[in-house]
Structure 1
């Protein structure tokens, strides 16, 4: 009888996750569109503590864990908040607080920014991740492990 494959340091893990804030508010879920996430441990894209929560799990295992901001999206960085003149926005863009606006980067990609405040001709745009500063609760289900 062979031992079941478990998540280790260099595993590629296919999983579903449900992500909630401490107050129970749903923040994200791969189940909404039935598109599981693929995560590669050891590639530098995940924090050490996040990876350690997955290690040892087997296909079919479910686990709930809570991670502080530094182990997920970090703390908001005040250097990622900009004041932009209202005239820099195209007429087709409806400016309202809470709106997410894409800003074209030199490489052609878009960088999303959240409109925080509008005061006269000044628009405050926050380029921090929307979940920066949040403690997050993960409910994961391992669907496959590729070593």
Structure 2
């Protein structure tokens, strides 16, 4: 296995993602299902990738990322207004409901219902963590785990 996380490494890790008030937003430890990420494939923010670079198997790291480094700032253009009539099939949701909406291109995207009035339903399509500082606790379990399997398969085969 690779000794250190590099810019193109696959990294298997456990993480806790917390908000400023300590609320746990996401955790791989709850279900004991570590996450596998590939650096450089655009699935992680540049800030998170930078925090992982140079880590080794067994390393534990705690750090925070500001909105620009993590999930980006909240974009007011992603707050949309709908008519309650748009919800005839599903029923008008309550504020706080997370719903899947189908975009014009057919992709589904989650939205958080912010407010409901007789005239409109306000939905926020920003990532729920956009605009927030987030805190990570990370344990590196393996680096390039599938590459190691591929090498072993190649050597054995």
| TM-score over 0.5 for the pair | yes
Q: What is the CA-CA distance between 1:46 and the residue it aligns to?
A: 2.2
Q: Answer whether contact 2:14 2:29 (CA < 8 A) is retained.
A: yes
Give the Cα separation in 1 of the matches to 2:90 and 2:40.
43
- Residues 1:114 and 2:112 aligned together: yes
Q: Secondary structure at the match of 1:69?
A: coil
Give the Cα separation in 2 of the matches to 1:101 and 1:142.
33
Q: What is the CA-CA distance between 1:127 and the residue it aligns to?
A: 0.4
Give the Cα separation in 1 of the matches to 2:36 and 2:29.
13
Match of 2:151 in 1: none
Q: Secondary structure at the match of 1:50?
A: helix
Instruction: Mark the CA change 1:4 to 1:37 in structure 2 (over 3 Å): closer, same or farther.
Output: closer
Match of 1:70 in 2: 68
Worse overlay, 126-135 or 47-56: 47-56
Note the aligned Cα RMSD (angstroms). 1.8
Give the Cα separation in 1 of the matches to 2:129 and 2:58.
28
Q: Secondary structure at the match of 2:7?
A: coil
Q: What is the CA-CA distance between 1:40 and the residue it aligns to?
A: 1.0
Give the Cα separation in 1 of the matches to 2:103 and 2:81.
17
Q: Answer whether contact 1:68 1:135 (CA < 8 A) is retained.
A: yes
Q: TM-score, structure 2 length as denominator? A: 0.85
Higher fraction of helix: 2
Deviations 1:26-53 (A, max 9, x none): 1111112222111111222323321121
Give the Cα separation in 2 of the matches to 1:21 and 1:124.
24
Q: What is the CA-CA distance between 1:106 and the residue it aligns to?
A: 4.2
Q: Secondary structure at the match of 1:52?
A: helix
Q: What is the CA-CA distance between 1:6 and the residue it aligns to?
A: 0.9
Q: Answer whether contact 1:87 1:121 (CA < 8 A) is retained.
A: no
Deviations 1:91-125 (A, max 9, x none): 43451110011112345432111110111120001
Match of 1:145 in 2: 143
Match of 1:136 in 2: 134
Give the Cα separation in 1 of the matches to 2:129 and 2:6.
27
Q: TM-score, structure 1 length as denominator? A: 0.90
Give the Cα separation in 2 of the matches to 1:54 and 1:133.
22
